[in-house]
Amino acid sequence: MRDTDNMEAEMEYDDGEEPSFSDPEDFVDESDQELLGDVLRDKPQEADGIDSVVKMSHLCRYMSISDEWEAPEKQPFKDFGNLRHWLEDPDCRDQYSVIYDSGERTGIFANDVKEPIEVEERARWTETYVRWSPKGTYLATFHQRGIALWGGEKFKQIQRFSHQGVQLIDFSPCERYVVTFSPLMDTKDDPQAIIIWDVLTGQKKRGFHCESSAHWPIFKWSPDGKFFARMTQDTLSIYETPSMGLLDKKSLRINGIKDFSWSPGDNIIAFWVPEDKDIPARVTLMQLPSRNEIRVRNLFNVVDCKLHWQKNGDYLCVKVDRTPKGTQGVVTNFEIFRMREKQVPVDVVEMKESIIAFAWEPNGSKFAVLHGESPRINVSFYHVKNNGKIDLIKMFDKQQANSIFWSPQGQFLVLAGLRSMNGALAFVDTSDCTMMNIAEHYMASDVEWDPTGRYVVTSVSWWSHKVDNAFWLWTFQGRLLQKTNKERFCQLLWRPRPPSLLTQEQIKLIKKDLKKYSKIFEQKDRLSQSKASKELVDKRRSMMEDYRKYRERTIDMYNEQKPLRLELRGGVDTDELDSNVDDWEEETIEFFINEEIIPIGDL
Amino acid sequence: MKPILLQGHERSITQIKYNREGDLLFSVAKDPIANVWYSVNGERLGTYTGHTGAVWCVDADWDTKNVLTGSADNSCRLWDCENVWYSVNGERLGTYTGHTGAVWCVDADWDTKNVLTGSADNSCRLWDCETGKQLALLETSSAVRTCGFDFSGNIIMFSTDKQMGYQCFLNYFDLRDPQQIEDNQPYQSVPCNESKITSAVWGPLGEFVIAGHENGEINQYSAKSGEILKTAKEHTKQINDIQSSVDLTMLISASKDCTAKLFDSTSLEHIKTFKTERPVNSAAISPIMDHVVMGGGQEAMEVTTTSTRIGKFEARFFHAAYEEEFGRVKGHFGPINCVAFHPDGKSYSSGGEDGYVRIHYFDPHYFDFELEA
């Protein structure tokens, strides 16, 4: 276990780092449109056709460019080894990070059915919590000075980003960029609240102001990492990478925009706008970069909307809370957008009760809804079929649940009653909507599926409950495998896996031959079981031998001391219960034990 | 195992004790009565009523002639046990009156000539068992927490609490020297600077006292010089209970740090550790098998936040050599405060915060059970 205190010293960010004198190709204009407010009265907008703006105070930098060009110094190549090393584990064990000791210790473990295998463990590796990058390549840790990224076989430090007082981070889906937020750093001239960094070079790409970090991430990424966007008052600003400039050099004015989100599968943004006088509320789907509105859906008497994308972007569900005309109450509809069909048809599912939770099946076309009010909470499973219908497959009532956790591979899910519902768990197979198992992890605060969908971890975090801090490992069917207690356990996060490199055809072939592969794996499992048994048996044997030897020595000593004992008690032998037979009187007593009445039948 | 449930108390059990032969089980609780039960079938043989305060401790002398109880009603009482088979009257033989505060501890010497009591009235008193006459009054500066006679019955020890600015002391008096008693001058008084003594037992031959402290330390204090002969710093939190094996060669310590540990009494060598996830209140060593039993649970304050369905209130059996848990016995609705093996090792009992005492006789399976080795 290494002490990472020294890292603080390493984090010294070279202040006053001058841009290199040669003009790199992707030289980024550092100033933001907002910078110029106090320099020019009319803020020139990038939309006004101005290409780039240079602040006068920066001008001197360009004046002092030397006429002689010096080649930049070649940096020594830092080899971090194979950053995907963990995927090569011969037993395909997934890793997870564990923070415990109220944050003092962070460990990385490999998930083995017998017990967790410690891979790495360090004290004060992070000051608050950790995050994995979306494809699992990096582990990000938080420090007063900024963020550090670790990876490779030995979790060496790969990169660090200096952002004083950093509180939140976000990765682009492609892991090329990381976005950091700190409430401390912002000044009017130099926006530093949010900074976007290039992960591979460590360069600061662009800084932004930020009014409030309440809805993090402020910048939302397109699935391919080509664009990122944020919403401000009546405005949607979309930026492109790697330039970090506004797409088409201008933001979109969308009056009243309340919320937006990217499809996880395509470069499409969904956003919604509330009712404005006699213009109804509407949800719009916009294609980027073309900015074509491929679908607009009008909604009436809307109170609120929430956008839920299915993991592949196949479907969008808009949860609409409405107050129908002439009524006081709020009803909820689900507007289901079928993204893969022409014209994006929309189907509506009406819900009679208030909604507690909603979740799409990843990779699939089902969704689960928790609805009702405690103590009468129900779960309903729906299937979005190809024929334009949305069927209610099944409903279970009287559930103790407030959250839904689908397996990342679909089909299976866990219904959990976290925190105030005392950790009730239900394991469901949605292929036939059966309850595979009902269990409980008292006071569980979190549920995390492993990336393969084989295992589920339920845990009681010290951050929410001060005793019984532990994490439990279950199979996807709800069979409890392990309980691991960790002193003041805080957080467990599975390491994500990058998307499979296999094609759909290859996957189909493997599924066909699954029986063959199963046999090999079962044999392997049996071998390792018996190996474990043998180890355990050997260990016990040696422990017993040692113990016996100890007891023999002690009993020898005890026997030697007998004269001393007799002396201490004036000659009376009290060593055994029956040592003093002379002192006994024998009495025979009868006492009542049992009465049995046996009828002798009619004679 | 068919447990026998003893319902005779209205408040939490403070201590349970078998007599030497093991046919009787005594239970005392925070309600002011002491009960004696026939351990083979749980039939209540008698109740010793007379105390008016919580009864904290009980002991029977080595041939079960008499029973002693110490109580918060400021008295220690001696009861006649002899007729308990014939009459259910629990005839009271006598009361030792004199204490003016809760009696925390009591012990009788091995052939029941004398009784020693320690109390919150800042005194330790010696009594003649038969006549009830107070033989000695030893005043202290703070409450007396533990006390006991050594193997021979000639030397007494008691420890005082750390309170009101006074330290914890471990005091030794030799009863063969009347001058010590008269002058209230222990021949040895050992200050415990850092951490007060929470539980103590005598060593096998009266040469030292083994004491458990609030900070988790276990120390051997010489009965001659008072110096610390050996120290064991194995536990990280308060020692709740120390019990000796039946031959006094080993002891087991139960600690708030969620473990129980086995030590050699003479060398204080740490031999085994038994790990759980809850504080351990009490532990005992089986007289005939390589087993230990442990009982615990959460502190009373936190009990309401634990689901009883989790069954954390279980007596847990560990293999003494392998340190592996091999069995649990559910049943208590609250933390277990005291566990004890029957002297013949064929049964055990547990007393809980829920006010129940449960006697369990082991199935034949228990004696044949072996972990694969």
What is the predicted pLDDT for the residue at B60? 60
Residues B98, B125: Cα–Cα separation, whole Å: 9
- Higher local confidence (pLDDT), B231 or B125: B231
Give chain B positions within 8 Å (CB) of A546: 321
- Judge whether residue A15 has pLDDT over 50: no
Closest CA to B191 of B231, B148, B228: B228
Instruction: State the average pLDDT over residues A246-273.
Output: 93
What is the predicted pLDDT for the residue at A519? 87
The least confident of A366-375, A586-595, B112-121, B265-274 is A586-595
- Nearest beta carbon to residue B371 from set A540, A555, A575: A540
pLDDT band at B47 (very low <50, low <70, confident <90, very high): low
- Judge whether residue A299 has pLDDT over 80: yes
- Higher local confidence (pLDDT), B133 or B74: B133
Task: Express each pLDDT in A368-387 by its tens digit.
Answer: 999 998 888 999 999 999 88
Give chain A positions within 8 Å (CB) of B151: 565, 568-569
pLDDT band at B92 (very low <50, low <70, confident <90, very high): very low
A465, A485, A554, A583: which to substitute to probe chain B, counting the most B Cβ within 10 Å? A554
What is the predicted pLDDT for the residue at A522? 86
- Nearest beta carbon to residue A554 from set B264, B290, B298: B264
Task: Express each pLDDT in B196-213 by its tens digit.
Answer: 898 888 998 889 999 999
ipTM for the whole predicted complex goes beyond 0.95? no
Distance spanning both ends of chain A, measured CA to CA: 87
Are the beta carbons of A577 and B20 separated by less than 8 Å?
Answer: yes
**Listing from the earlier edge strand, what are the strands of the sheet with A292-299?**
A259-262, A268-273, A281-287, A292-299
- Judge whether residue A48 has pLDDT over 90: no
Calculate the alpha carbon distances from B164 to A18, B41, B138 in Å: 68, 47, 19
- Å from A566 to nearest chain B CA? 9
Is the C-alpha dihedral spanning B82, B83, B89, B95 positive or negative?
A: negative
| Residue in A with minimal Cα distance to B110 | A569
Chain A contact for B128, CB < 8 A? no
What is the predicted pLDDT for the residue at A280? 92
Q: Amino acid identity, residue A500?
A: S
Are the beta carbons of B205 and A541 separated by less than 8 Å?
Answer: no
Residues A423, A442: Cα–Cα separation, whole Å: 5
Give the phi and the psi of residue A227 in degrees, each rounded to 5.
Answer: -130, 155
Chain A contact for B176, CB < 8 A? no
- Judge whether residue A490 has pLDDT over 50: yes
Are the beta carbons of A467 and B302 separated by less than 8 Å?
Answer: yes
Give chain A positions within 8 Å (CB) of B250: 554
Residues A506, A533: Cα–Cα separation, whole Å: 37
How big is chain B, counted in residues? 373
A422, A460, A574, A576: which to substitute to probe chain B, counting the most B Cβ within 10 Å? A574
- Nearest beta carbon to residue B206 from set A422, A442, A568: A568
- Nearest beta carbon to residue B249 from set A470, A537, A558: A558
Chain A residues with a Cβ under 8 Å from any Cβ in chain B: 422, 440, 442, 467-468, 470, 485, 533, 536-537, 540-541, 543-544, 546-548, 550, 554-555, 557-558, 561, 564-565, 568-569, 572, 574-575, 577, 580, 583, 589
Average predicted confidence (pLDDT) for chain B: 78
Give chain A positions within 8 Å (CB) of B271: 547, 550
**3-state SS, residue A9:** helix
- Nearest beta carbon to residue B307 from set A442, A555, A564: A442
Chain A contact for B236, CB < 8 A? no
Chain A contact for B371, CB < 8 A? yes
- Å from B302 to nearest chain A CA? 10
Task: Express each pLDDT in B261-272 by its tens digit.
Answer: 999 999 999 999
Give chain A positions within 8 Å (CB) of B305: 467
Give chain B positions within 8 Å (CB) of A575: 247
- Number of H-type helices and E-type strands within chain B: 2, 32
- Å from A569 to nearest chain B CA? 5
Are the beta carbons of B306 and A557 separated by less than 8 Å?
Answer: no
pLDDT band at A296 (very low <50, low <70, confident <90, very high): very high
What is the predicted pLDDT for the residue at B9? 76
Helix (H) or strand (E) holding B18: strand B13-18
What is the predicted pLDDT for the residue at A261? 95
- Judge whether residue B291 has pLDDT over 90: yes
Q: What DSSP designation does A279 have? A: B
Average predicted confidence (pLDDT) for chain A: 85
- Å from B102 to nearest chain A CA? 31
What is the predicted pLDDT for the residue at B312? 55
- Higher local confidence (pLDDT), A59 or B334: B334
What is the predicted pLDDT for the residue at B61? 58
Residues A16, A514: Cα–Cα separation, whole Å: 60
What is the predicted pLDDT for the residue at B89? 31
Residue A346, beta-bridge partner list: A337
- Judge whether residue A463 has pLDDT over 50: yes
- Nearest beta carbon to residue B321 from set A547, A564, A569: A547
Residue B311 CB neighbour total at 10 angstroms: 13
- Nearest beta carbon to residue B373 from set A468, A544, A589: A544
Are the beta carbons of A568 and B152 separated by less than 8 Å?
Answer: yes
Chain A contact for B326, CB < 8 A? no
Our measurement of the distance from residue B154's CA atom to the centroid of its chain's CA atoms, rounded to an integer in Å, reads: 20
Give chain B positions within 8 Å (CB) of A569: 110-111, 151-153
Residue A359 CB neighbour total at 10 angstroms: 18
- Higher local confidence (pLDDT), A445 or B311: A445
Are the beta carbons of B271 and A547 separated by less than 8 Å?
Answer: yes
- Å from A474 to nearest chain B CA? 17
Give chain B positions within 8 Å (CB) of A444: none
Residues A485, A489: Cα–Cα separation, whole Å: 8
- Å from A98 to nearest chain B CA? 19
pLDDT band at B217 (very low <50, low <70, confident <90, very high): very high
SS3 content of chain B, % helix, strand, coil (to 5): 5, 50, 45
What is the predicted pLDDT for the residue at A329? 83
Residues A40, A408: Cα–Cα separation, whole Å: 52
Our measurement of the distance from residue A153's CA atom to the centroid of its chain's CA atoms, rounded to an integer in Å, reads: 22
**3-state SS, residue A471:** strand
Count CA atoms closer than 13 A to B137's CA, side-chain side. 10
Task: Express each pLDDT in A392-444 by its tens digit.
Answer: 999 999 889 999 999 999 999 999 999 888 899 999 999 999 999 999 999 99
Number of CB pairs, chain A paired with chain B, less than 8 A apart = 74
The least confident of A181-190, B61-70, B320-329 is B61-70
CA B251-B254-B257 angle, to 5 degrees, is 135
Q: Amino acid identity, residue B337?
A: N
Are the beta carbons of B266 and A541 separated by less than 8 Å?
Answer: no
Residues B193, B167: Cα–Cα separation, whole Å: 7
Are the beta carbons of A589 and B85 separated by less than 8 Å?
Answer: yes
- Nearest beta carbon to residue B247 from set A548, A558, A568: A558
- Nearest beta carbon to residue A577 from set B21, B324, B372: B21
Helix (H) or strand (E) holding A539: helix A514-560
- Judge whether residue A268 has pLDDT over 60: yes
The DSSP-derived string for B253-305 is EEETTSEEEEEETTT--EEEEEE-SS-EEEEEE-SSSSEEEEEE-S-GGGGGG
Tokens coding A340: 């893969």
Give chain B positions within 8 Å (CB) of A547: 271-272, 290, 320-321
The residue written with tokens 């980003």 in the block is A161
* Percent above pLDDT 90 for chain B: 23
Tokens coding B130: 């038969």
Chain A contact for B21, CB < 8 A? yes
Is the C-alpha dihedral spanning A99, A100, A101, A102 positive or negative?
A: positive
Task: Express each pLDDT in B180-189 by its tens digit.
Answer: 888 888 888 8
Q: Decide if B284 contacts B243 (C-beta within 8 A).
A: yes
Give chain B positions within 8 Å (CB) of A468: 277
Closest CA to A485 of B326, B328, B277, B256: B277
